[in-house]
Amino acid sequence: MSRSSFASSDSARSARPLRYARVARFGPLRLKLGGRLPEVNIAYETWGRLNRARDNAILICHALSGDSHVARHTPRDDPGWWEAVVGPGKAIDPRRYYVICANTLGGCRGTTGPNSVNPKTGERYGADFPAITIADIVEVQKRLVDRLGVKVLLGVVGGSMGGHQVLEWATRHPRRVRGALAVATSPRLTMQAIAFDVVGRNAILRDPHFHGGQYYDEKSGPDVGLALARMLGHITYLSRQAMQEKFAADRLRPRDVATEFEKKFSVGSYLAYQGTRFVERFDANSYNTLSMAMDRFNLGATPAKLRARLARSRCQWLVLSFTSDWLFPPEQSREIVHALLALGRSVTYCNVQSTCGHDAFLLEENLATYGEMIRAFLARLSGSKETKPAKGDDDAYALRPTNFYHRVDYDRIARFIPRGAGVLDVGCGPGGLLWRLKRRGHSPLMGVELNEADLVTCARRGIDAVQADVNEGLGVFRDGQFDFVVLSLALQVIRNVKGVLLDAARVGRRVIVSFPNFACHRFLGMLTQNGRMPRTSGLLPFEWHNTPNIRYLTISDFDVFCRKYGFRVHQRVGLDTETGREARGDINRLADLALFVVSR
């Protein structure tokens, strides 16, 4: 098997000393579960400079096996664990931001943990190290941030267990955080995830060299147990597809690695290699301590409890998940997003298409989406100028399922909406309409979009947008949450038209819809004279076999629909998109684009 098959999120990590790490020392710390540490040291590294206003600081929170070394400081420095994201010209750029990363409490890379010396006994804590929580980890980080002179963090960023720390920061210290970036994380672990941790901890605890946790002065420690725990972890970090792509082709041709673990299969030699390398740099007691802290974390077991906890936050939110992540599955990120939407919080969400599993947030494969969304979100927090809609976004009309952008009806839709009104744009595309409304002072504004690239563009324009399929409804939004709900050129691709429109009328006081009018004389002429389905360069650019349209309605059809289902029509406009003018008279025959304002 090739060396590239052995590449993982661990590839750049080693046990070498952290040359740029500094240590801050603090006094006693009383822990949430009742324990007490007489003193706490925290190892940390920084990149960039704190500006004069002290408002450009970003705290990066690492996952279970990470440390303070998130990126290189110089070209000759060892690579960090998030080189893909942190560095000059990258999403988190130290030339612009003051970046802080600290080894967590309970860790083994310089911060007080089980391998630290207990000042009361003069010996290492070992198994006597008290149980800690994510809240304790965040408390120590807050002390460090205070020491560094930062009153408010521009952003707190973290993935996996680091995402738990982000959630804790945003809800426990809401006045200290302007933006929360929660990546590949959850309000609490699934029972399946906890089960894997239980097996990993048992592998350590039952290792004959564990010595009750006091193995530091013994000839051998629980290396086998720790390696097995890490091997198990690596299984959960990869998706099934990633496993197939890495190992299936040469499943019976493993690499010859120096190990006593089974290596008959290529995947076995990979796991053995990863487990052995992990033992070189990590401590078994720290693994148990931190995995227990992660397993205990619980932001809310029910939607109501989760909303109550998140209601404490005051920051803007970016939530990212990955489609193939089964350790922190996307539905758990959506639980966070749904709670934030119900609370009316500013939130952007994307479920990034990936085959890399949980490890995706540490790898470069999907950086064009998740990295650019992080970059755009931080730029928005720091007050950077938003990206203007490109010419194509104004003048073109491209159709994809539940994703549309166009120019011709934006101005007319904007006239329907009083200044300052809140708007939910369902199928917002790259956010052209919302960008216009934002410049007019409308608030709140929110987009719903399925297309990943369009969500990146929305983020660059400073627009809140969440990834969702409109066909699944708008149940996450409250009754009357917006003044207007817009479904612009969306009706013809929606499966459950009645359900979506009823939901839209519940969420907004008024609903604005626009759709191609298939009774237009030009469309009918194409059909009757040429015998072919209508096709134009604007509204109907597709052939019959690749069109996303599944509904072919007319203005008269929609009038009947409104009467049948109790929708009140407040305004009805027909546009001739070839001339750019409003059609007069028989708009069902003369207009190729219809706009309605309705309510119930």
Give tens-digit pLDDT for 372-419. 999 999 999 999 766 665 554 543 333 333 333 345 788 899 999 999
* Inter-residue contact 60 to 92 (CB < 8 Å): yes
For the chain, the structural domain boundaries read 3-379, 387-599
Catalytic residue chosen out of the listed positions 160, 266, 333, 514: 160
Tell me which CATH code domain 3-379 carries: 3.40.50.1820
Could you identify the residue written with the tokens 């159709």?
399
Q: Matching CATH topology for 3-379 and 387-599?
A: yes
pLDDT, tens digit, 9 for 90 and up, residues 424-440? 999 999 999 999 999 99
Residue type, 380: R
CB contact set of 14 (below 8 Å; sequence gap of 6+): 78, 280, 281
pLDDT, tens digit, 9 for 90 and up, residues 113-170? 999 999 999 999 999 999 999 999 999 999 999 999 999 999 999 999 999 999 999 9
Catalytic residue chosen out of the listed positions 62, 69, 234, 358: 358
Which band of pLDDT confidence, cut at 50, 70 and 90, is reported for residue 537?
confident
**Is 358 a catalytic site residue?**
yes
Flag whether pLDDT at 178 surpasses 80.
yes
% of the chain exceeding 70 in pLDDT: 94
Q: Mean pLDDT across the stretch 557-578?
A: 95
CB contact set of 574 (below 8 Å; sequence gap of 6+): 517, 555, 582, 583, 587, 588, 590, 591, 593, 594, 595
pLDDT, tens digit, 9 for 90 and up, residues 184-204? 999 999 999 999 999 999 999
Quick one: three-class SS letters along 22-52? EEEEECCEECCCCCEECCEEEEEEEECCCCC
Query: What is the predicted pLDDT for the residue at 393?
Result: 53
Catalytic residue chosen out of the listed positions 93, 223, 325, 425: 325
Tell me if the bond preceding 444 is cis, omega within 30° of 0. yes
* Inter-residue contact 47 to 94 (CB < 8 Å): yes
* Inter-residue contact 138 to 153 (CB < 8 Å): no
Flag whether pLDDT at 584 surpasses 50.
yes
pLDDT, tens digit, 9 for 90 and up, residues 437-490? 999 999 999 999 999 999 999 999 999 999 999 999 899 999 999 999 999 998
Architecture in CATH for domain 387-599? 3-Layer(aba) Sandwich (3.40)
CA distance 466 to 348: 5
pTM greater than 0.85 (yes/no): yes
Residue type, 307: R
**Is 69 a catalytic site residue?**
no
